[in-house]
Amino acid sequence: MHAALELATNRRSSERFDIVLPVTAIDGSESRGSSSNLSEGGACIELEGAAPKVGDSIQVRFAVPGSAEPVEVEAEVRWAQPGARSMFGVMFRRGHQRLVALLVAGILGGAAGTANAATSTTVPTFDPNEDVVMDMDAGGERPDKQRIVEVFSRQYDAIDACVVDSKGDKGRTLEGEAHVAVLLNPKGATPLGVNTELPGGSKKDRELRECLRAAVATADYPSYDGPPIVVEFDFELDPGFEEVPAE
């Protein structure tokens, strides 16, 4: 029987996008500029002209690649830095859910193409109750838990790409937690096996399951001097996006 480690990971609570978008800020008049440091809660905006005042409510139109129409978001100015090109930060109040959804679909859509090319993985599943054939030359070392968690966490973009592709344009949420078990290879890199269990209505989605197995299998797992170990992860399959409450 394989020894197992149950490891906890934290799903990202706030998406951040390293992307610059053209914007139009509407505060009585219209000013054009660009946004950066965009998250679910707000953004940094740079304009040609004077910045609105801290506390002002403004409309911000974002030009999103792939979207025929701009996305209009209600926001509040939280800080401002005057200059030849004014810079200020806003907190989103309303309308930002569509903006974030379009960005996720666009950014992860490219990754989904890669994930689709690997909807099946050469890494097999494994029997968790099977006895391990011990390597008599192997030591007694165990892999570092924190290192394994960090390696697995770096696969969340690929995991999200699988989820986005499975959802398609239906806009539904895949509810529930997925369970992943990885049989580590002491030599590192490609694991000896990957098992994935999907929740509820996704249980029979073979393409999603195989896409997730491929995403998990491509992580750069560390080597160690010891026997094969099973590490297990539970994570929310489709965390969605949280509404940012008004202060």
The string of pLDDT tens digits covering residues 175-211 is: 899 999 999 999 887 899 999 999 988 888 988 898 8
CB 39 within 8 A of CB 16: yes
The string of pLDDT tens digits covering residues 126-178 is: 988 876 555 556 667 888 888 898 888 888 878 887 887 787 766 677 889 99
- In three-state form (DSSP H/G/I as H, E/B as E, the rest C), the secondary structure along the chain is CCEEEECCCCCCCCCEECCCEEEEEEECEEEEEEEECEECCEEEEEEEECCCCCCCEEEEEECCCCCCCCEEEEEEEEEEECCCEEEEEEEEEECHHHHHHHHHHHHHHHHHHHHHCCCCCCCCCCCCCCCCCCCCCCCCCCCCHHHHHHHHHCCHHHHHHHHHHHHCCCCCCCCCEEEEEEECCCCCECCCEEEEECCHHHCCCHHHHHHHHHHHHCCCECCCCCCCEEEEEEEECCCCCCCCCCC
Please give the Cα distance from 63 to 163 (Å, whole number): 25
Domain boundaries, the chain: 3-14+117-236, 16-101
The string of pLDDT tens digits covering residues 56-106 is: 999 999 988 777 788 899 999 998 887 667 889 999 888 887 787 777 665
Across residues 238-247, what is the average pLDDT? 51
Whether CATH 2.60.120.20 fits 16-101: no
Q: Which residue has the higher pLDDT, 138 or 30?
A: 30
Residue 28 has pLDDT above 70, yes or no: yes
Please give the Cα distance from 184 to 26 (Å, whole number): 54
